[in-house]
Amino acid sequence: MHESEYIADTAISYRKDYGQFFTPPPVAHLMASWIIRDNPKTILDPAFGLGVFFEAVKNIALDKKFKFVGYEIDEKILNYINFKNNTNNLEIINEDFLESPIRYYDAIICNPPYMRFQKFLKRHNILPIIEKQIGKKFLGYSNIASIFLVKALHQLKPNGRLAFIMPFEFFNTGYGKEIKRSLLEKHLLKQIVIFSNEKDIFPEATTTVSILLCRYDKKNEPIKLTFISDKTEMKNINSIGDYFQATIHPNDLPVEKKWTPIINAYLFKEEKTPDGFCLLSYYGKVMRGIATGANEFFALNKSRADELGIVDENLTKCITKSQQIKKLVFTEEDFNELVKLDKPVFCLNVKNLNDEATLSYINYGERKGYNNRYLTKNRSPWFKVEHRRRAPILFGVFNRGRLKVVRNYSSAINFTCYHSFYPNIFGMNILNKLFVYLISDIGQKIIQLNKRIYGDKLDKFEPRDLNDAKCPNFEQLNLITDAEANEVIELAKNDEKRAIEVSNRLIERILNVQQSAPADRQSAGVHPLVAGFH
């Protein structure tokens, strides 16, 4: 293989432009063992790369006859392989698979390029062609991998097999809905393989990795679920199609639902949400932070604003980066400390267009092209930012381990590094009690049922994920007194660990009262969700 040589000689920026993330040979072997089970005569790899799948198929198939077709757009990567001259059963086509005509294959195997759809410069020209070829509209798709999958599925012959690497989080996205529908309606999906320790198996992974194993046999049968924790476990698998921990009927995978919590519930023991809990949206609304489209222009520190001479009227206090908040409680004093440290905690928010210094800075932004960014060019005027109030509770967007929850007492608004919770009339008077729940281990465990999973133990929450999260109802929260909630707030200012411990006890009270309610005819005890937190 040429992977180490190619990586050493190629800038990471170049590989990212092509969405190149290579498949480890053990993974390629598992995938190849699936697609050759029916002795395919024609095999397609829509993203050939360095040829790891061809090598895997060749090593397993041995003397079996097959024709392997690989598409590869990057001529540089082809210079690192010499398959063209030493094999008769391989055809490498130096073209973009998405631009290729429809041809049908007995087997398809692929690790598609992974990049944001917006970076696919030819999408406006190619998509209409693909849509016409396969009779499907591409609405809201956010990465190239999903387009590769849809086109590949269309090119699979009856009884053909497919093995495709996909980011696991696509099961939770809006653009994944129609893909899931195709997989289920045609009874294509036979197995989902999920990897736990991606950095051990996929060193370059930026998202949790899964493999879809499909067969076009029109059989409506349970879908196998496989969880692989590390390299050692993977080496002991002889046939991936026979290795699984659970099965799920296709009817239990609604296309409009997020599949991650459903799949996890089958693969792992998942705790039941306590009775009586309601949605967080009952108390208010979680919204994303302000999207400027050019943070480097709009975010200013005090010294830069003074240097430019921009009047205070055109500046708004603003949290522009997640790391600017270190503690569970953020106060006006904490904000002022960031100002003293000259952190970029002011947002250009033009209210007075008669200020010459502000106009000069706007002209500077136009010379630099900030007005032609994706978001700014669709605003009028381009430098006008969204109007937002400060939010009393902030949620981290990307998190490792715990969901970052901040009780915000400052007057600062925030960029998209945080989601903002705006309470309604029901939530206004129970904010501190709600915060107690949100930072508790129990609350964290329940809320994280809605997360989107990325690689390297990185979790992402969208506003909808948080709005749909479960939390105690009003009556349950009122089992916590205002004084107790205030005590947690004071502790959280300086002692996060102690604040969480106290929060756990207060939430345990809610669950134990619920468990010992007369209707249940149960004596008070420890709810299963709090077991292990002592």
- Give, for all 534 residues of the chain, the pLDDT tens digit: 455 565 555 555 555 555 557 788 899 999 999 999 999 999 999 999 888 999 999 999 877 889 999 998 887 777 766 654 456 789 999 998 988 999 999 999 999 987 655 445 455 567 777 777 777 666 555 577 888 898 999 999 999 999 999 988 788 877 678 788 889 989 999 999 998 755 567 655 556 789 999 999 999 999 999 988 778 888 888 889 988 888 999 999 999 888 988 888 888 755 567 889 999 999 999 999 999 999 999 999 999 999 999 999 999 999 999 999 999 999 999 999 999 999 999 999 999 999 999 999 999 999 999 999 888 988 999 999 999 999 999 999 988 778 999 999 999 999 999 999 999 999 999 999 999 999 999 999 888 876 665 544 567 788 988 999 999 999 999 999 999 999 999 999 999 999 999 999 999 999 888 666 554 433 333 344 443 333
Which residues pair with residue 408 across a beta bridge?
330
Amino acid type, 494: N
pLDDT for 532 equals: 39
**Cα separation of 20 and 386, whole Å?**
36
pLDDT for 197 equals: 57
pLDDT for 13 equals: 56
pLDDT for 122 equals: 56
DSSP structure class, residue 397: S
CA dihedral 262, 215, 51, 33 (to 10 degrees): 90
DSSP structure class, residue 51: -
Tokens of 36: 């050759």
Give Cα 79 to chain centroid, integer Å. Answer: 34
393 Ramachandran zone, left/alpha/beta (phi>0; psi -120 to 50): beta
**Cα separation of 410 and 404, whole Å?**
17
pLDDT for 483 equals: 96
pLDDT for 181 equals: 86
pLDDT for 22 equals: 73
**Cα separation of 300 and 347, whole Å?**
6
Tokens of 323: 């790391």
**184-to-37, 149, 179, 180, 367 alpha-carbon distances in Å:** 22, 14, 9, 6, 51
**Quick one: CA dihedral 142, 147, 148, 154, positive or negative?**
positive
CA dihedral 163, 164, 169, 174 (to 10 degrees): -110
pLDDT in tens, 466-523: 999 999 999 999 999 999 999 999 999 999 999 999 999 999 999 888 666 554 433 3
pLDDT for 399 equals: 80
- Given a contact cutoff of 8 angstroms between Cβ atoms, the answer to whether 188 and 182 are in contact is yes
Contacts of 88 (CB under 8 A, 6+ apart): none
How many other β-carbons are positioned within 10 Å of the β-carbon of residue 49?
26
- Given a contact cutoff of 8 angstroms between Cβ atoms, the answer to whether 196 and 210 are in contact is no
Contacts of 337 (CB under 8 A, 6+ apart): none
User: What residue spans define the domains of the chain?
Assistant: 3-267, 271-291+388-534, 294-385
**Cα separation of 110 and 367, whole Å?**
44
Rg of the chain's alpha carbons, rounded to an integer? 27
pLDDT in tens, 10-30: 555 555 555 557 788 899 999
Task: Report which of 318, 311, 360 is spatially closest to residue 343, judged by C-alpha positions.
Answer: 318
DSSP structure class, residue 309: T
pLDDT for 173 equals: 76
Tokens of 70: 């690989």
CATH code linked to domain 3-267: 3.40.50.150
pLDDT for 275 equals: 85
* Length of the chain, in residues: 534
Task: Report which of 320, 316, 373, 380 is spatially closest to residue 350, judged by C-alpha positions.
Answer: 316
pLDDT for 124 equals: 58
Which residues pair with residue 279 across a beta bridge?
470
Q: Cα-flanking dihedrals φ and ψ of residue 470, to 5°?
A: -90, 145
